[in-house]
Amino acid sequence: MGTKTIGIRDDVYERLKARKREDESFTDLMNRILDETTVDWREGFGTLSEGEADELEQIVKDSRNQTSEGLSARQQEVLDVLADIEEEDETA
């Protein structure tokens, strides 16, 4: 397995060095830190700016309205069909 040289700022190096255990290399440290980092979808909550949150809220409202309008239209179509069937039964 190969190695790579990366550049980091002095302050980042000092922070890493402070977290490094006596018996571990920087590679071991990076592996440990990366393993400790879990991807949790809940961690992102509350990170939207107010403008982004407002835009997202509007998108959700619009989507709900479209869904509601579509459902209402389909319900009305079914009611019309049932009314037509009922009318046919009454005239027969």
- pTM equals 0.41
**pLDDT of res. 80:** 93
Boundaries of every domain in the chain: 8-39, 49-92
SS3 content of the chain, % helix, strand, coil (to 5): 75, 0, 25
State pLDDT tens for residues 6-42. Answer: 999 999 999 999 999 999 999 999 999 988 877 777 7
State pLDDT tens for residues 38-75. Answer: 777 777 777 788 899 899 999 999 999 999 999 999 99
Under the banding of pLDDT at 50, 70 and 90, the label for residue 88 is: confident
Give the span between the Cα atoms of 53 and 57, in whole angstroms. Answer: 6
